[in-house]
């Protein structure tokens, strides 16, 4: 009967398939929620603190001990190991117990006062880039402050006032204003891109799986017949439940990120909400394109997982795309996550007018339209109903 065929019949059938499949429930609901919860928990502090270091104080004077106390007072630094032997400190770093070594030479206080310019040496383990970089900042800061403190004491001993000495010790005053992420919170930067990236990867793979599983089970022609022979009704009825499900997940993630954690959302809710919807549609279009290009269920899944993982690197949130080779920079715009990342920067962090991001919104929707253009190939794939091992 005609009433038993059409897009809504396919839509209801797909919901039943999702809710009756453990793989779908785990892969599309439980796995994203667990991953999101783990990422938020891991970066709950925002910025790594209490990073362990070793101190080798060969001077052990009142001045050097004061310097060590000031270094230990920094929130990001935690002096876990003190020694008079650099060899012991290096062993601790090689064992992974500390991520930096701060060395104060012998006769440090005496040489500093007498003008012999003692040398403070520090090492950071940049195999752990974030920890090494943060420790470098703290050690560099305390070294500069120590130099200024010694200069101030020497000048005061010669009868100069602090007002006369400060322009000499610090001729240029620095005022820093981090824009977009003033608290330097790694969760603001990473979780707002990793979470959509995971959504994109999972949805692209499940879009392919939703069609490929029909062929694998030998129900491809039956599926088309259920839609009344209409490819458009078949495709939209098939993908719409996934669109709704992942949009609900996205709204939940946004409520945690922007409402509960108060992450920057300078352009308001709707620009980012629309960005998530566009990303979801682009993921589905991306999956349809891969299935149409390869015409093979397993090969399309492999390509989706590969390209999805590459998108995390080429998007530019870990290493600037503009600093890559011109070829890779151009290729980065062929990945939907790149456009979402730029929308996030413009809308959530910078708060500029949405019209400046219109190109990236259009690009995301363009991926979905390209997927729809491939519906003829999808129809052939379903009609042939041949599953290749």
**180 part of a folded domain:** no
Q: Which domain holds residue 285?
A: 7-44+185-384
Q: Are 35 and 61 part of one and the same domain?
A: no
pLDDT band for 388, please (50, 70, 90 cuts). Answer: low
**139 part of a folded domain:** yes
Q: Are 84 and 232 part of one and the same domain?
A: no
Domain-terminating residue out of 135, 169, 203: 169
Q: Are 217 and 249 part of one and the same domain?
A: yes
**174 part of a folded domain:** no
Predicted local distance difference test score (pLDDT) of residue 1: 45
pLDDT tens track for 40-90: 888 887 777 888 999 998 888 887 888 888 888 888 888 888 888 888 888
pLDDT band for 238, please (50, 70, 90 cuts). Answer: very high
Predicted local distance difference test score (pLDDT) of residue 158: 67
Q: Are 199 and 332 part of one and the same domain?
A: yes
**18 part of a folded domain:** yes
Q: Are 190 and 292 part of one and the same domain?
A: yes
Q: What is the mean pLDDT of residues 193-220?
A: 91
Q: Are 272 and 136 part of one and the same domain?
A: no
Q: Give me the CATH number covering residue 126.
A: 3.40.1710.10
**2 part of a folded domain:** no
**177 part of a folded domain:** no
pLDDT tens track for 316-345: 877 888 888 889 889 999 999 999 999 999
How many structural domains is the chain composed of? 2
Short-list 84, 162, 100, CA closest to 134: 100
Order of strands, edge to edge, in the sheet holding 51-57? 77-83, 51-57, 100-104, 121-124
Judging by DSSP bridges, how do beta strands 121-124 and 51-57 pair with one another? Answer: unpaired
Average pLDDT value over all residues in the chain: 86
Residue written as token pair 């499940």: 206
Q: Are 233 and 334 part of one and the same domain?
A: yes
For the chain, first and last CA: distance in Å? Answer: 35
Predicted local distance difference test score (pLDDT) of residue 64: 81
What are phi and psi for residue 305, nearest 5 degrees? -65, -40
pLDDT band for 302, please (50, 70, 90 cuts). Answer: very high
Q: Yes or no: say if 143 and 122 are a contact pair by the CB < 8 Å rule.
A: yes
pLDDT band for 166, please (50, 70, 90 cuts). Answer: low
Say whether pLDDT at 38 is over 50: yes
**96 part of a folded domain:** yes
Dist. CA 265–CA 348, nearest whole Å = 4
pLDDT tens track for 16-35: 999 998 999 999 999 999 99
Predicted local distance difference test score (pLDDT) of residue 216: 85
Domain-terminating residue out of 169, 194, 217: 169
């Amino acid at each position: 009967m005609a009433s038993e065929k059409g897009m809504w019949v396919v839509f209801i059938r797909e919901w039943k398939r999702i809710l009756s499949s453990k793989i779908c429930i785990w892969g599309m609901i439980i796995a994203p929620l667990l991953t999101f919860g783990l990422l938020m928990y891991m970066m709950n502090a925002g910025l790594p603190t209490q990073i362990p270091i070793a101190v080798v104080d060969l001077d052990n004077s009142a001045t050097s001990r004061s310097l060590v106390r000031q270094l230990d007072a920094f929130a990001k630094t935690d002096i876990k190991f003190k020694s008079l032997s650099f060899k012991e400190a290096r062993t601790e770093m090689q064992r992974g117990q500390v991520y930096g070594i701060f060395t104060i030479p012998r006769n440090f206080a005496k040489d500093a006062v007498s003008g012999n310019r003692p040398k403070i040496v520090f090492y950071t383990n940049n195999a752990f880039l974030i920890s090494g970089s943060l420790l470098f900042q703290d050690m560099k800061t305390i070294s500069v402050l120590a130099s200024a403190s010694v200069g101030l004491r020497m000048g005061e001993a010669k009868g100069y006032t602090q007002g006369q000495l400060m322009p000499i010790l610090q001729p240029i005053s620095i005022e820093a204003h981090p824009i977009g992420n003033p608290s330097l919170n790694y969760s603001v930067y990473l979780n707002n891109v990793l979470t959509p990236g995971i959504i994109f990867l999972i949805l692209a793979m499940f879009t392919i799986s939703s069609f490929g599983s029909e062929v694998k089970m030998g129900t491809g022609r039956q599926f088309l017949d259920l839609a009344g022979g209409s490819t458009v009704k078949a495709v939209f009825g098939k993908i719409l439940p996934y669109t709704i499900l992942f949009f609900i997940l996205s709204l939940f993630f946004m409520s945690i990120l922007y409402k509960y954690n108060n992450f920057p959302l300078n352009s308001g809710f709707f620009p980012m909400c629309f960005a998530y919807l566009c990303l979801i549609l682009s993921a589905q279009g991306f999956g349809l394109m891969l299935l149409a290009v390869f015409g093979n269920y397993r090969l399309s899944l492999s390509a989706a997982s590969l390209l999805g993982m590459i998108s995390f690197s080429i998007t530019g949130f870990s290493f600037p795309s503009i600093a890559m080779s011109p070829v890779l920079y151009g290729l980065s715009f062929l990945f939907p996550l790149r456009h979402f990342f730029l929308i996030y920067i413009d809308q959530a962090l910078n708060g500029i007018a949405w019209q400046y991001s219109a190109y990236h919104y259009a690009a995301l929707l363009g991926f979905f339209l390209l997927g729809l253009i491939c519906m003829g190939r999808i129809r052939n794939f379903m009609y042939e109903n041949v599953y290749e091992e």
